[in-house]
Amino acid sequence: MHRKLAATALALPLAAGAQPATYEIDPDHTFPHFMIQHLGVSWMHGRFNKTSGKLVLDRAAKTGSVEVTIETASVDTGAHELRGRTRTRDEHLRTADFFNVQEFPTMTYKGSAKWNGEWPSEVQGQLTLLGVTRPVTLKVDSFGCAPDPRIKGKREVCGANASGSFKRSDFGMKFAIPGVSDEIRLQVQLEALRPL
């Protein structure tokens, strides 16, 4: 499938150009998902619902970069009911115990791509969370570009899935370790658009 996408994209006249191309991140199809172990027994899933940023690709030079800004208040772990408590889990995650969204409304990831063949295979970047910047490397599990069929190919869409992990304590988020694990696993789904 990915080879097909790649072949399609390479067939695009403009895509074959030597200039770096800038793509705007599509917030409806870009979601940083995270997994965190709860009480040592299961990996809970959550995601951030609001993202923005850009992807820059130079296929001729085989270089690229990505910048993503994530609104921390958009954290969503699917637990929206109070169930007798005074706050939902997401409300707790927004406090200073975890993401401290009032003081740090956004977190950012900026990285540059390492290529393997026709497409990026890894992003070496810097994650800034809670005012702390640390390196976080993401493995690109899949990548592809294609004309957007929804508007008859008048724009190009590139998409990727990437994964990685980091320790939240490295960013000063230490509350409830180890009941809520120090390790956070990431699975990022990203799409970005560029008019042709």
Partner 1 sequence: MDSFLQHPAFQGGVAPFVAGLMVAAVLGRARLGGLAVAAGYAVAIALASGVAFSPLTALRKVALLALAAPLAGIAIDFALRSGRALVIVVAAVCGALTVWVFWSVLQHKVPAEAALLGGGAALYVAWLVVATMALSAAPVRAGAAALVLGLGTGISAILAASALLGLYGIGLAAGAGGFLLWQMVTGRTIAAGATLTLSVGLAGGLFGASALFLAKLPGYVPIVLALVPLAARLPVPPRFPIWAQAIVLSAYCFVLAVLAFVLTRQGVAPPA
Contact status: 39 vs partner 1 (CB under 8 A): no
Toward partner 1, which CB reaches closer, 103 or 141?
103
Tell me how far, at minimum, the Cβ of 180 lies from partner 1, in Å.
Answer: 11
Residue 120: asked if its preceding bond is cis (omega within 30°), the reply is no
Q: Name every residue whose Cβ is closer than 8 Å to that of residue 5 and which is 6 or more positions away in sequence.
A: 144, 145, 146
Q: Name every residue whose Cβ is closer than 8 Å to that of residue 50 and which is 6 or more positions away in sequence.
A: 27, 70, 71, 73, 74
Among 19, 42, 95, 126, binds partner 1 (CB under 8 A): 95
Quote the CA–CA distance of 121 and 71 in Å, as a whole number. Answer: 26
Q: SS3 of 5, please?
A: helix
Kindly indicate which of the ranges 31-39, 44-52, 118-126, 130-138 contains the residues binding partner 1, using the contact rule CB under 8 A.
130-138
Contact status: 181 vs partner 1 (CB under 8 A): no
From the list 48, 51, 39, 41, the residue with the least C-alpha distance to 77 is 48
Contact status: 174 vs partner 1 (CB under 8 A): yes
Toward partner 1, which CB reaches closer, 96 or 151?
96
| Residues binding partner 1 (CB under 8 A) | 82, 85-87, 91-92, 94-97, 100, 102-103, 105, 130-132, 172, 174-179
